[in-house]
């Protein structure tokens, strides 16, 4: 008879091996696009409230999407929309009159649905980038260093699959609480510069990032479409320029920040941008905003775009008469 100290490890290895074999032998979820009236209504409702900035209607849209997803949990598009909805909810939480600690659950849900979307569509670099963001933010909220590292590597993978979109995705949520002197902040700024570089097709002048020579590169197909305005993000170009300007101002380089802000005016539809008043005030107050941005202020004109309460809408809301 073998001693128990030999038998037990062997048995554990056997059981672990059986578990892995059983998991690998179980079929993966397969993507099945929804074609029901309910799913179509839920998706249309998502884009309507997202493009019109109806933050107050997130709950009703969440219910519609969830009902549709429960009916077909194999639809990667429904999973993406749910992930995007919960990301919007937490990103623009400054709109709420009372800050509820339960809002952190939104990032947990976003992580779940972007993970679902990626399982169903492994080539979905959009969900991959936002999954990395969710992992990173959840790790920061719950002081989980390992999850933050996981998020960092998920973002690195997402960048390799779609640099024009995911350099920005990776850099966007990392800035609010970081000191401009920290290595993480400098890494974030470097990602945003690389986003500008891949869109320009060359390395931009870091002290005079004038985008006028590159406006002829605008396209609406392929990976480069993420650099410009589109139906999904009507003011993407303006929003990216404002965000980049904010980070340069937070870094103390308000002069270069102004140049980046001015680039937003190069877009053909700038005059209809609902948030142009925010950018124009930033140009006027760039020097004094250095201290406000470094203190993580939460008023729309004295905070970086991510903390303004319009961190999603600055790019995605369609042209309306937003009051300044």
229 close to 235: Cβ distance less than 8 angstroms = yes
Chain segment 35-72, per-residue pLDDT in tens: 999 999 999 999 999 999 999 999 999 999 999 999 99
Q: Give the lowest-confidence range in 156-160, 207-211, 282-286, 298-302.
A: 298-302
CA-based nearest residue to 183, from 206, 161, 152: 152
User: How far apart are the C-alpha atoms of 67 and 110, rounded to whole Å?
Assistant: 17
User: How far apart are the C-alpha atoms of 49 and 55, rounded to whole Å?
Assistant: 7
Strands annotated E in 125-248: none
pLDDT at 27: 80
Q: What is the pTM of this model?
A: 0.91
Chain segment 104-120, per-residue pLDDT in tens: 999 999 999 999 999 99
Q: Give the lowest-confidence range in 64-68, 111-115, 180-184, 260-264.
A: 180-184
User: How far apart are the C-alpha atoms of 233 and 318, rounded to whole Å?
Assistant: 8
Is 90 exceeded by the pLDDT of residue 13? no
124 close to 166: Cβ distance less than 8 angstroms = no
- Domain positions in the chain: 35-161, 180-324
pLDDT at 127: 98
pLDDT class for 29, splitting at 50, 70, 90? confident
Is 60 exceeded by the pLDDT of residue 123? yes
pLDDT at 324: 38
Is 50 exceeded by the pLDDT of residue 323? no
Chain segment 217-252, per-residue pLDDT in tens: 999 999 999 999 999 999 999 999 999 999 999 999
CATH topology of domain 35-161: 1.25.40
Cα distance from N-terminal residue to C-terminal residue, the chain: 83
pLDDT at 217: 97
Per-residue burial over 51-68, b if 16 or more Cβ lie within 10 Å, else e, is bebebeebeebbebbbeb
46 close to 61: Cβ distance less than 8 angstroms = yes
Is 90 exceeded by the pLDDT of residue 299? no
pLDDT at 6: 53
Percentage of the chain modeled with pLDDT above 90: 81
User: How far apart are the C-alpha atoms of 324 and 318, rounded to whole Å?
Assistant: 16
Average pLDDT value over all residues in the chain: 92
């Amino acid at each position: 008879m073998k001693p128990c100290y030999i038998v037990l490890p062997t048995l554990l290895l056997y059981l672990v091996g059986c578990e892995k074999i059983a998991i690998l032998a179980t079929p993966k979820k397969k993507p099945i696009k929804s074609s029901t009236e309910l799913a179509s209504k839920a998706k249309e409702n998502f884009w309507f409230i997202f493009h019109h900035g109806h933050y107050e209607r997130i709950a009703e849209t969440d219910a519609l999407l969830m009902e549709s997803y429960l009916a077909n949990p194999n639809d990667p598009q429904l999973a993406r929309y749910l992930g995007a909805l919960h990301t919007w909810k937490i990103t623009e939480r400054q709109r709420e009159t009372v800050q509820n600690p339960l809002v952190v659950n939104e990032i947990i849900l976003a992580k779940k649905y972007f993970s679902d979307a990626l399982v169903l569509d492994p080539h979905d670099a959009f969900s991959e980038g936002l999954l990395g963001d969710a992992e990173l933010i959840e790790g920061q909220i719950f002081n989980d260093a390992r999850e933050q590292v996981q998020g960092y590597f998920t973002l690195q993978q997402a960048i390799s699959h779609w640099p024009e979109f995911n350099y920005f995705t990776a850099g966007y949520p990392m800035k609010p609480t970081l000191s401009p002197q920290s290595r993480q902040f400098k890494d974030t700024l470097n990602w945003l510069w690389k986003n500008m570089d891949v869109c320009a097709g060359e390395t931009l002048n870091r002290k005079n990032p004038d985008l006028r020579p590159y406006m002829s590169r605008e396209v609406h197909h392929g990976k480069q479409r993420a650099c410009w305005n589109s139906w999904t993000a009507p003011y993407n170009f303006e929003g990216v320029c404002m965000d980049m300007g904010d980070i340069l101002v937070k870094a103390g380089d308000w002069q270069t920040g102004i140049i980046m802000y001015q680039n937003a005016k190069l877009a053909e539809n700038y005059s209809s941008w609902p948030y142009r008043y925010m950018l124009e005030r930033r140009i006027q107050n760039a020097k004094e905003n250095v201290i406000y941005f470094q203190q993580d202020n939460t008023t729309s004109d004295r905070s970086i775009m991510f903390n303004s309460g319009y961190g999603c809408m600055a790019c995605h809301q369609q042209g309306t008469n937003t009051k300044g």
